[in-house]
Amino acid sequence: MARSAEARWEGTLKEGTGNLKLGSGAYEGQYSFSSRFEEGTGTNPEELLGAAHAGCYSMALNAALERADHQPEYVHTTANVHMSRVDDALTITKIDLVVEAKIPGIDEETFMEFANDAKENCIISRAINVAEMTLDATLVS
């Protein structure tokens, strides 16, 4: 199985523009220097990485809970991707996963075991090499 996405960039780094498109056709949008390194309109690769990580984590947590006969009503995850200079190169240095889940009949300790396992073992977590990944998990009653 393989998935694809494409990007096209035209012009200079600061004045140019780009377009990102998912192979499935589910998303296509513009990006720019401003949307990536300032607060400009459009998306950026780091935001898309965050979306991928949040989606992967939510599914991994849900699947693990289901296998253990805990059926979540929902799992909602936000991935905050932090970028900083490391040795004069921009680097993704940290990803904060913030998850809220409603899972009837599960206790906090058991939930945290599943939440931490999903953080370590979801496909995107294993694919990226980030210095720090945090988890803030909330079980909703």
What is the Cα–Cα distance from 28 to 26, expressed in whole angstroms?
7
Question: How many whole angstroms separate alpha carbon 88 and alpha carbon 68?
Answer: 46
Q: Are 77 and 54 in contact (CB under 8 A)?
A: yes
pTM for the model:
0.92
Query: What is the structure's pLDDT at 138?
Result: 94
Residues 6+ apart with CB under 8 A from 2: none
pLDDT at 137: 94
Which residues are CB-contacts of 62 (< 8 A; sequence separation ≥ 6)?
72, 75
pLDDT in tens, the chain (141 residues): 899 999 999 999 999 999 999 999 999 999 999 999 999 999 999 999 999 999 999 999 999 999 999 999 999 999 999 999 999 999 999 999 999 999 999 999 999 999 999 999 999 999 997 888 999 999 998
Q: What is the model's pLDDT at position 7?
A: 96
Provide the pLDDT for residue 130. Answer: 84
Between helix 108-121 and helix 45-67 the angle, nearest 10°, is 130
CA-to-CA distance for 55 and 22, rounded, in angstroms? 15
pLDDT at 19: 97
Bridge-partner residues for 25, per DSSP? none
For residue 14, what pLDDT is reported? 96
What pLDDT was estimated at residue 101?
A: 98
Phi first, then psi: give them for residue 76, nearest 5 degrees: -120, 120
Model pLDDT, residue 76: 98
Helix (H) or strand (E) holding 115: helix 108-121
Question: Within 10 A of 49 (CB to CB), how many other CB atoms are there?
Answer: 18
Supply the pLDDT for residue 131.
Answer: 82
- Helices marked H in 12-94 — which ranges? 33-37, 45-67
